[in-house]
Structure 1
Amino acid sequence: MEKITLWDDRTIPRLGFGCWAIGGPFWADAVPVGWGVVDDNESKRAIAAALDAGIKFFDTADVYGAGHSEIILGEALKGHDDIVVATKFGNQFNPDNKQITGQATDRTYIRTAVQASLKRLNRDTIDLYQLHVDDLNADAAAQAQAALEELVTEGLIRAYGWSTDHPEHAKGWLGGKNYRTVQHDLNLFTPANAMLELVNANDMISINRAPLAMGMLGGTYKIKHAFGEDDVRSGGAPWLDKMTGISSAEDAQQRLDGVRELLTVDGRTVSQGALAWIWAHNASTLPIPGFRTVKQAEKNARALEFGPLSIETMHEIDMVISGDI
């Protein structure tokens, strides 16, 4: 089983679960930014299945479902104090109407936000607290980092990271004593080499959102699948933003079909192959596929049984994705 060592010297399986989808619907004005209606009991059963499969890392955010994801995760993890919990801050929201209302990263807001997350998660300490604003100017970022170091000193969090796809921003926090992770998009269509170079050079961990390109590498949907009105994927094709260099849905489908047999080598599913590609791509990676059902949780967790793809298979996949064959 693939393993990774954390900032506090704990070693865990090299697979976490992302909890965006289990938050349920929430909105930015009229735009859906959640994954549709969810069954909270099924979400809890899925978390239990992940725990049974050995998963030790769960990533969420205060804004997912306007607080609902943290609440469900906290209830499901009651009594599991050994599990690593990561959450994020920076987006303001109204839990009553499930609306995002703005952004804030100042010291006062951070201290208020962490206390609210601790309460929803039913925890005394958050293992990893991450800035959830992709693009923040240098002065504001420095002030946020100072506040985060205070939280570590006070024991409210153990470490912090930044959820950003901009290496130039992630570099701004280097040197921070408890700055341990960068969360960014990474999948076989989006290799994120510049960010991984930064992470590797500074002995950090790369937490990988969109490892299955918002479900398009899960093997369930066709690229042109129609989603419900309360699903973030219903507005155009936002998952295409998670597939660098892909010009259209048709292009994405063609390249995915071209690697399907390679991803399923040795009996893997498509999603298990996509996760195996990430492990083979870089040793510092920790993919966090999302889930909403027990079946999804069990399938993704079983990727650990197969481990990374071979160098030969990686080369063949990369040739197809790049269009060189």
Structure 2
Amino acid sequence: MEYRVLGRSGLKVSEISLGCWAIGGPSWRDGSPVGWSGNDDNESLAGLRRAHELGINHLDTADVYGDGHSERVIGQFLKDVPRESVVVASKVGWFRGTAPNAMQPVHIRHQLEQTLTNLGTDYVDLYYFHNSNFGPDDQYLEEAADTMRELQKEGKVRVIGQSAYSYADFMRVCPVTRPEVLQFNYNAFGNEFDQQGTNLFQWAEQENLGMVLFGPLAQGLLLDKFDPENPPQFGEGDIRSTNQSYSKERLLEIRRQLQPLKEHFGSATQELVRAAIQYALAQSPNACVIPGFKNTRQVESNAEAAGRPLQAQEVELIKQAFRRG
């Protein structure tokens, strides 16, 4: 396993870390599915233990993942390993309970205490604002930022992070939240974060901020593991059930786009895993990736891509495969 330092935060993490959303299981938010189906707690725990054996030291979860279930599974795992051997990240911002907004300061403090209880620890290494929704006209933004810094002074949070879903949102809230680590969605399909004028990688490097990239495998879409003639069906409470990318038409388009990659890297799923993960890692030396998992096999597959960087021309080949026409 290779390791990277997340910018000025000083956190040293495995370049391939673990996203722990899927092990939270099915869940809903305001009537919409926001979880994952098909998880098993025993398999989740086995995966966490195998990851630790392989040198994966960074676990990313959130209060909303299974409404605390992901955190509680990680809490079981943490009983069996030295706490200092794991960088634990969690988030606040999507689960608001009875608060008017999830970023209301008293709610942030409550959620962190619940997160610490779930995890069975007295601090988190990295605590994110999970989004940029700080209420109408950002009414809770300054108070929320102050609260997070108070929690940091109390020793309950080591590093403050900011997750968001657009360049404009990062630019709006980061001057106030002053994060040392950013988290955002990025994979070989590309998005605004690698475009001129909205290149978050460039801005983060200028500011010496760490970057944690979720979705490097695009929820399996970059692995060509779904049959377009028999599109996958997902269980209740699974966020993928509302994703049109799993339609026959989109799966056929992605298969066509993947053809140059298969010709170069090979058609085996493992080679596509490596290509996708290392493409994301190639964007910045201050970035790590957090692919999700449900079992030991997936953990091992992701970890196998470590330490196998792409050459510059391979990065360009992948970029072109998904940007043409």
TM-score normalised by the chain length of structure 2:
0.87
Aligned to 1:244: none
Assess, with a 3 A threshold, how the Cα gap between structure 1 residues 299 and 93 changes in structure 2: closer, same or farther: same
1:272 alignment counterpart: 274
Could you tell me which runs of 5 or more consecutive residues in structure 2 were left unpaired when the two chains were aligned.
none
2:316 and 2:157 mapped to 1: Cα distance?
40
Do the aligned residues in 2 keep the contact of 1:145 with 1:173 (CA within 8 Å)?
A: no
Per the TM alignment, residue 190 of structure 1 is displaced from its structure 2 partner at its CA by 1.8
| Aligned position for 1:289 | 291
- 1:231 pairs with one of 226, 238, 245: 238
Partner of 1:128: 126
* CA positional deviation for 1:72: 0.1
* Closer, same or farther: CA 294–140 of 1 in aligned 2, 3 Å: same
Matches within 5 A, 1:60-99: 60-78=61-79, 79-82=81-84, 83-92=86-95
Conserved? CA contact 2:26–2:236, under 8 Å: no
Q: 1:230 to 1:310 in 2, by over 3 A?
A: same
Unaligned runs of 5+ in 1: 95-99, 241-246
| Equivalent residue, structure 2, for 1:14 | 15
Residue in structure 2 matched with residue 202 of structure 1 by the alignment? 207
* Structure 2 counterpart of 1:159: 159
Q: Secondary structure at the match of 2:282?
A: helix
Residue 266 (structure 1) shift: 11
How far off its partner does 1:219 sit? Answer: 4.3
Matched residue of 2:124: which SS? coil
Q: How far did residue 218 of structure 1 move?
A: 3.7
Aligned to 1:252: 254
What amino acid maps onto 1:140 in structure 2?
Answer: Y
1:183 aligns with 2:188: no
How far apart are 1:253 and its partner, in Å?
2.9
Correspondence 1:50 to 2:56: no
- Residue type of the alignment partner of 1:63: V
**Aligned equivalent of 2:114:** 116
Give the CA RMSD over aligned residues: 2.6
Aligned partners of 1:314 and 1:92: how far apart in 2?
Answer: 37
Cα deviation, 1:33-86, whole Å, max 9, x if unaligned, reads 111142101100000011111001000000100110000011112233120000
Shift of 1:262: 3.4
Deviation at 1:228, TM superposition (A): 2.5
| CA distance, structure 2, for counterparts of residue 322 and residue 205 of structure 1 | 26
| Gap change, CA 1:166 and 1:236, over 3 Å in 2 | closer
The CA deviation at 1:264 is 4.4
Give the TM-score taking structure 1 as reference length.
0.87
1:299-314 to 2 correspondences below 5 Å: 299-306=301-308, 308-314=309-315
* Residue 258 of structure 1, CA deviation: 3.5
- What percentage of residue pairs aligned between the two structures are identical? 29
* CA shift in 2, pair 1:138/1:159, >3 Å: same
Q: Which residue of 1 aligns with 2:3?
A: 3
The answer to whether the Cα contact below 8 Å between 2:142 and 2:176 also exists between their aligned partners in 1 is: no
Distance 1:48 1:280 in 2: 27
Q: Does the CA contact (< 8 Å) of 1:184 and 1:208 recur in 2?
A: yes
Contact 1:92 1:102 in 2 (8 A): no
Please state how far the C-alpha of 1:18 moved relative to its aligned partner: 0.3
Deviation sequence 1:211-262 (CA, Å, 0-9, x none): 111121244334633322332111242679xxxxxx9443233212342333
Q: Secondary structure at the match of 1:303?
A: coil
Higher relative contact order (CA 8 A, sep 6+): 2
Whether the 8 Å contact between 1:152 and 1:178 is mirrored in structure 2 is no
Shift of 1:142: 2.3
